[in-house]
Chains A and B, each alone.
Chain A
Amino acid sequence: MNCENCDMAPATIHITRIVGGKKRKSHLCKDCAGAKPLPKAQLNLPAILQALLGQNDMAQVDCPCCGIGFMEFRSNGRLGCPHDYEAFRKTLTPLIQRLHVKVNHKGKRPSRPPLDSAQSHLLLTLRRALAVAVSKEQYEEAARLKREIQQLVQDTVTHES
């Protein structure tokens, strides 16, 4: 029997309540019985990726901008930042080729030049460093990085205006 709340997972928790002298039964999955979260998607993309990618020599590669390792992408199916398309190019390109028709964009393009890749990589790297500094409570370093990011954003004429 599936959970009567989300109808997506087996009902493993069975609750009987007496309300106004009347017996009421609820059959819920573990998630719904707790916080009653919303149902989750069923597609297991990581499993598909693991089957497609297998083990390869990218295992040790980390993105210098966001820090995600290739194995992390392989296990959760999501890239960490736009630069990953460069960092993992060697393995990503054949994967993209299998998912799509061609590895060659034919659709619309932004009307203005995209942000210079060196600038965006620097901003991504600085934002990662800022997050690390905050998490380590290194507030002076965090303040310095924040100023540097603000300056870079101001100097980048093509950035969000």
Chain B
Amino acid sequence: MNLDALAQFSGEWLDATGPQSQIVVSTRIRLARNLAAYPFTNRTNNFQKGEIESLVCDKLRHFSFEVDYHPLANMPALDRQVLFERHLISRDMASAEGPRGVAFNPGESISLMVNEEDHLRLQVLKSGLDLQNAWTVIDDMDNQLESKLSYAFSEEFGFLTACPTNVGTGMRASVMLHLPALEHTRHIEQVYRALQKISLEVRGLYGEGSRASGHFYQISNQVTLGKSEATIIKELGGVIPEIIRYENEARQAWLADPQQPLKDRIQRVLDTIQNETQMSCEEAIECLSILRLATALGEAPGLGLAQLDKLFIQVQQAHLQKIMGGLMDSEERNTARAQFLRKKLAIG
């Protein structure tokens, strides 16, 4: 798979065809697994990392899923950042050193990181709210690997992980929601508090430590031990419809608000895209977020959710440089981003 070409497309999980895709961008499940007879990644040397990488790559040859393995050790930093921006590798993995890599399928819906914080990080991404199907796929991936690799497992603690926050199922199930209206009406704080009470976690667009840019929120389970995977999925899946209902109510309230009309905000965003000669990544994401809201409400004819969701990835710095065909400083990027957005949205 050519990483240069990758930046022109988006993964199939961003096609906005999944259930509730007007508010739910995607569903993600990841499993953390370690090999029983090796130290965890933070204590392995490069020789051991290389052994683990070879061992896993060998098993991937018998995998029923069509995946290509991409070693990261000698990959240029820009390509690594492209993979990070596409949610295929973690931020830490992009900047780490030594033998490590990621295998993923052409649609980027399944991936497997090798030598991340844990030896294996399996991931499945689905469009919209689709927890059950995501679990079915990742369970199959896990079973296939486990039949050929000895995982670190204890009857008491479950799957053993480098960080005790992941021990047990090793599973993090998360749903990425677009909640601009709850943020606008300042009701998002209530959502935060309510979710914390039931041990669910709210993170930004890029998971742990990231901010909620573009009004995107990832809601995921905090607890990984003492509950089965089915229970975790059921509990997470149970609260999402309520947040969707809340966001929908807030959207209608915003539409009807005479003080701060949503239509004015949409027009200001269109004017910004038409007139600005420079645009930072944050500004572009903010504009796209309002256009995504407008599209979901039928207030932006001619635009599509899948088109906008792809642009959220493409306006980021590594993607932009890949698409434009070269390294740029921040000012050049901001100029290119403003032009790129105008062209892609056919505004101006």
Q: Which residues of A contact B91 (CB under 8 A)?
A: 38-41
Quick check: is A114 within 8 A (CB to CB) of the other chain? yes
B106-120 vs A, Cβ < 8 Å mask (1 yes, 0 no): 000000000001000
- Contact pattern, A 10-34, Cβ under 8 Å of B = 1, otherwise 0: 0000000100000011100000000
Which of B7-15, B224-232, B261-269 interfaces with chain A? B224-232
The complex places the Cα of A30 from the Cα of B231 at a distance, in Å, of: 45
- Given the complex, which residues of A lie within 8 Å of B40, measured CB to CB? 66, 78-82
A102 within 8 A of B: yes
Residues of B with C-beta under 8 A to A147 = none
User: Closest approach, in angstroms, between the C-beta of B225 and any C-beta of chain A?
Assistant: 4
Q: Are B148 and A80 in contact (CB under 8 A)?
A: no
- Residues of B207-226 contacting chain A, CB below 8 A: 208-210, 223-226
Query: Which residues of B sit under 8 angstroms from A39, Cβ to Cβ?
Result: 91
Partner of A82, one of B146, B160, B164: B160
A99 near B36 with CB under 8 A, answer: no
Q: Which residues of A contact B226 (CB under 8 A)?
A: 100-106
Interface size class of A (residues with CB under 8 A): 35 or more
SS class, residues of chain A in contact with chain B: loop
Residue of chain B at shortest CB distance from A122: B37
> A158's contact among B150, B156, B210, by CB below 8 Å, is which?
B150
| Contacting pair B163 A45 (CB below 8 A) | yes
Neighbouring B residues of A45 by C-beta, 8 Å: 163, 165
Taking a contact as CB atoms under 8 Å apart, the answer to whether A85 and B160 are in contact is yes
Known: A99-B164, A111-B143, A131-B48. A80 touches B208 (CB 8 A): no
Chain A residue nearest to B55 in the complex (CB): A160
A131 touching B45 by the CB < 8 A rule? yes
A71 within 8 A of B: no
Quote the shortest CB–CB distance from B51 to chain A (angstroms).
9
Contact among A7, A105, A120, A159 for B155, CB-based, below 8 A: A105
A103 and B117 alpha carbons, distance in the complex (Å): 22
Tell yes or no: B167 within 8 A of A by CB: yes
Distance to closest chain B CB from A76 (angstroms): 7
The answer to whether B77 and A104 have CB atoms under 8 Å apart is no
- Name the B residues within 8 Å of A101 (CB-CB): 199, 223, 225-227
**Residue contact B225 to A103, C-beta cutoff 8 Å:** yes
Give the chain A neighbours of B151 by CB distance below 8 A: 110, 114
25 A–B contacts, CB within 8 A, in A order: A36-B77, A37-B95, A40-B209, A45-B163, A65-B39, A78-B40, A80-B39, A80-B42, A82-B34, A85-B167, A92-B164, A96-B157, A100-B225, A101-B223, A101-B226, A103-B225, A105-B154, A107-B171, A112-B146, A114-B36, A124-B37, A124-B39, A128-B39, A160-B35, A160-B149
Closest 10 CB pairs of A and B: A105-B158, A102-B226, A101-B226, A42-B209, A82-B152, A41-B209, A107-B169, A123-B37, A100-B225, A115-B150
Report B's interface with A, CB cutoff 8 A: 34-40, 42-43, 45, 47-48, 55, 59, 77, 80-81, 84, 91-92, 94-95, 117, 139, 142-143, 146-160, 162-165, 167-169, 171, 199, 208-210, 223-229, 231, 280-282, 317, 329-331
